[in-house]
Structure 1
Amino acid sequence: MKTLEPLIGKWKLTGDDLAGEVTFEWMEGGFFMIQRFDLVQAGRHEKGIEYTGFDEETQTLRSRLMQTNGSNFTYTYQIEGNEFWYWFGYKGSDNYSKSTFSADGNSYSGRWQWSLENGEAGGYSYVATRIE
């Protein structure tokens, strides 16, 4: 879990038709990370919470994300060095975000990408800047 430490704090997200804030914090005890998000993406308001912990079955950092609109999804986290991977579902999924932290750790930038039905790549770029 401690590999997720670089995310702890409050972040401003901007990007291709994306704006909002995300906060990451440790749950008391340090065994889980909590993410709270409030974004406008592609004209839709996205708001919710995500809980991340170590998953024994997959030996990965898995999360459960729940939105105020009733949707819920599973994601997998990985941070190695300055690279931050965030897969929809399982590690290795073709729907993922890959970003890179700045040298000072106060920002990360990257791209979400996935395969479209026609075989082309879909996605968007983003930048997260620490605000707290």
Structure 2
Amino acid sequence: MNELQQLGRLVGTWSVTGGASGTTTFEWLDGGHFLVQRGTLVHEGHEVRMTEMIGYEHPFGGERGTEVKSRVYDADGNTLDYVYELDGDELTIWGGSKGSPAYFKGSFSDGGNRLAGDWVWPGGGYQATMVRV
């Protein structure tokens, strides 16, 4: 099973609490090559509506990449790039590229129905918890 397929444990709807709160849903895009996240969260009083495409890059005429990457598109016109890394029950989401000073690091528990951790970036961060609903 490749790393993207392992992220299938995110499929479903989640209640998000902590520094951001709301609901987010993960589902497979037809064909099973991309995981899609759609959510509405409130962070510091601002509503963030977003869609994220998660998968391996496979550019026109090129080889498929080896890292699970994503791009978030939000209703404010922002695009944010991430790299997903799953090791057992520990999920790291790197902001931009692996090793970045901006990242989420959390652990699955409760049979995979809870993911808790911290978003960290230079000068800030917050705790976040997702519980499957």
TM-score by length of 1: 0.90
Deviation readout 1:76-111 (Å, 9 max, x if unpaired): 111110001111101111100000000411101000
Q: Does 1:3 align with 2:6?
A: yes
Give the aligned partner of residue 112 of structure 2: 105
Output the aligned Cα RMSD.
1.3
The 2-side partners of 1:48 and 1:68 are apart by 6
Equivalences, count: 125
**What residue identity is the alignment partner of 1:96?**
Y
**What residue identity is the alignment partner of 1:86?**
I
Deviation at 1:59, TM superposition (A): 1.9
Work out whether residues 41 and 47 of structure 2, in 8 Å CA contact, stay in contact via their aligned partners in 1.
yes
**Any stretches of 5+ residues in structure 2 without a counterpart?**
58-62
Q: 1:21 aligns with which of 20, 23, 33?
A: 23
* Runs of 4+ that moved beyond 3 A: none
The 2-side partners of 1:29 and 1:39 are apart by 28
SS in 1 for 2:17: strand
The 1-side partners of 2:6 and 2:89 are apart by 11
SS in 2 for 1:104: helix
The 2-side partners of 1:69 and 1:114 are apart by 21
Deviation at 1:48, TM superposition (A): 1.1
SS in 2 for 1:14: strand
SS in 1 for 2:112: coil
Work out whether residues 92 and 106 of structure 2, in 8 Å CA contact, stay in contact via their aligned partners in 1.
yes
**Any stretches of 5+ residues in structure 1 without a counterpart?**
117-121
The 1-side partners of 2:97 and 2:65 are apart by 9
State, as a whole percentage, how many aligned pairs show the same letter.
Answer: 38
Q: What is the correspondence of 1:15-54 to structure 2 with a 5 Å cutoff?
A: 15-16=18-19, 18-54=20-56
